[in-house]
């Protein structure tokens, strides 16, 4: 398999180094070969080439089997003509990775680290499916001196394709799907709710489908997080709700994500940001990157056994309390990577 690495900015390169080492170790153990190519991306690419995603990097991505991405952005480029984030949005759009899968579960050893009471997070096991290539992120926009606008638009086809993913994931899990919208206010949400309801009735009568307003969902994620199985929502709501949910396991540094389209390559990235405040200090939590690698093996390459192997090693680390500082442990980012490889072997 050919893998593109996009380390990006801030702590991106640190966690990417661990991810790469983990990929190499698991591939050797599972008996498949990986070919890596690394490219500047985001702010790092702006610094070198004047743009966050060069045509050459995009071509390399398109020719690969899977893409691992560290993190992008930082205050350094706040005033730049072109922003690091534009590279990320451009990559998502060009590859048409329309579904972003963000699993959130809480390892029992970590229940005490959650800001929520331990009894509320025990048993949390949800999958947030976020639409990733539409909505207000990609709509028409206007910018004048004293006025600005952003348009949120969705077509039925855009809703259907991501909803299919969510329904199918629900079938593989506990059979429950909660679609989140703001249908009491927005036209796009009313279309969203209509399309998802029709699909549920016609194609997925076996799935227990519910609908919730986004404001209510933001509450229920705290009140009873274990009640959620699959959550489906549009791009902007998914950004907010998945970051909220990411606090359930105690650190956003733990979670990974898979961005998938109809064909390879998918994009796999931890959901934490570039964390400029701790960049370069070998303090980052690499578990989110490692979980992203597990998703890369599983959803990206179909190597489920390799994914299971990696997750077992992560589980062993949690049980041993082999943690970075954000979880109250003493390991540096690179030490956590070395420990992981020991557990793997």
Ligand X SMILES: CC(C)[C@H](C(=O)O)[C@@H](O)C(=O)O
CB closer to its own copies out of 222 and 278: 222
Q: Is 277 annotated as a binding residue?
A: yes
Q: Report whether 131 contacts 233 (CB < 8 A).
A: yes
Residue from 88, 241, 255, 275 binding ligand X (CB under 6 A): 88
Residue from 161, 190, 264, 339 binding its own copies (CB under 8 A): 190
CB closer to its own copies out of 273 and 315: 273
Q: Does 252 bind its own copies (CB under 8 A)?
A: yes
Question: Smallest gap, in angstroms, from Cβ of residue 305 to its own copies?
Answer: 33
Residue from 29, 58, 122, 186 binding its own copies (CB under 8 A): 186
Q: Does 53 bind its own copies (CB under 8 A)?
A: no
Q: Report whether 142 contacts 148 (CB < 8 A).
A: yes
Contact residues for 321 (Cβ-Cβ < 8 A; gap 6+): 109, 329
Structure tokens at 144: 């004048």
Residue from 33, 157, 172, 345 binding its own copies (CB under 8 A): 157
Count CB neighbours of 208 within 10 A.
Answer: 14
155 binds, among ligand X, its own copies, none (CB under 5 to 8 A by kind): its own copies
Q: Report whether 64 contacts 296 (CB < 8 A).
A: no
CB closer to its own copies out of 34 and 153: 153
Q: Does 73 bind ligand X (CB under 6 A)?
A: yes
Torsion sign over Cα 75, 81, 86, 87? negative
Q: Is 283 annotated as a binding residue?
A: yes
What separation in angstroms does the CA of 110 have from each of 250, 252, 254, 266, 316? 7, 13, 10, 29, 12
Contact region with its own copies (CB under 8 A), list: 1-9, 57-65, 232-240, 282-290: 232-240
Structure tokens at 288: 């989110």
Of the residues 35, 206, 215, 262, only one is catalytic, namely 215
- 215 is annotated as an active-site residue: yes
Q: Does 244 bind ligand X (CB under 6 A)?
A: no
**Nearest partner of 269 among 302, 241, 246, judged by Cα:** 246
**Nearest partner of 290 among 230, 331, 243, 341, judged by Cα:** 341
Q: Does 239 bind ligand X (CB under 6 A)?
A: yes
Question: Smallest gap, in angstroms, from Cβ of residue 171 to ligand X?
Answer: 26
Q: Which residues of 267-279 are buried (b: 16+ CB within 10 A; e: fewer)?
A: bbbbbbbbbbebb
Rounded Cα–Cα distance for residues 252 and 208 (Å): 29
Rounded Cα–Cα distance for residues 8 and 5 (Å): 9
Residues at the site binding ligand X, with contacts judged by CB under 6 A: 73, 85, 88, 184-185, 215, 239
Question: Using CB under 8 A as the criterion, which residues of the chain lie in contact with its own copies when the complex forms?
Answer: 73, 83, 85, 89, 115-117, 120, 136-137, 139, 141-143, 145-157, 182, 184-188, 190-191, 214-216, 218-219, 221-223, 236-237, 239-244, 246-247, 252, 273
Q: Mind telling me the catalytic residues?
A: 137, 182, 215, 239, 243
Detail the residues annotated as belonging to a binding site for NAD(+): 273-285
């Amino acid at each position: 398999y050919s893998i593109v690495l996009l380390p990006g900015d801030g702590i991106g390169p640190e966690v990417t180094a661990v991810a790469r080492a983990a990929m190499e170790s698991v591939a050797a153990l599972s008996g498949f070969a990986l070919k890596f190519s690394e490219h500047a991306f985001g702010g790092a690419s702006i610094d070198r080439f004047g743009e966050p995603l060069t045509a050459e990097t995009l071509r390399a991505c398109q020719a690969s089997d899977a893409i691992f991405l560290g993190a992008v952005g930082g205050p350094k480029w706040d005033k730049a003509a072109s922003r690091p984030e534009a590279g990320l949005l451009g990559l998502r759009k060009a590859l048409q990775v329309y579904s972003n899968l963000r699993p959130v579960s809480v390892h029992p050893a970590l229940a005490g680290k959650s800001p929520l009471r331990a009894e509320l997070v025990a048993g949390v096991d949800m999958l947030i499916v976020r639409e990733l290539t539409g909505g207000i992120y990609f709509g028409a926009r206007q910018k004048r001196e004293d006025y600005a606008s952003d348009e949120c638009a969705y077509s039925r086809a855009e809703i259907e394709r991501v909803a299919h993913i969510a329904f199918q994931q629900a079938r593989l899990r506990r059979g429950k799907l909660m679609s989140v919208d703001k249908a009491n206010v927005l036209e796009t949400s009313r279309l969203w709710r209509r399309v998802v309801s029709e699909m549920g009735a016609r194609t997925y009568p076996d799935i227990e489908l519910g609908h919730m307003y986004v404001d209510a969902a933001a509450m229920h994620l705290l009140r009873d997080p274990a009640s959620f199985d699959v959550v489906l929502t549009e791009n902007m709501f998914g950004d907010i709700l998945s970051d909220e949910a990411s606090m359930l396991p105690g650190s956003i540094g733990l979670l990974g994500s898979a961005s998938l389209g109809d064909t390879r390559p998918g994009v796999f990235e931890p959901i934490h940001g570039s964390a400029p405040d701790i960049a370069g200090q070998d303090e980052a939590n690499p578990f989110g990157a490692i979980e992203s690698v597990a998703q890369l093996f599983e959803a990206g390459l179909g190597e489920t056994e390799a994914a299971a192997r990696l997750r077992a090693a992560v589980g062993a680390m949690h049980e041993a309390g082999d943690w970075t500082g954000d979880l109250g442990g003493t390991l540096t980012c690179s030490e956590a990577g070395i420990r992981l490889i020991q557990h793997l072997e």
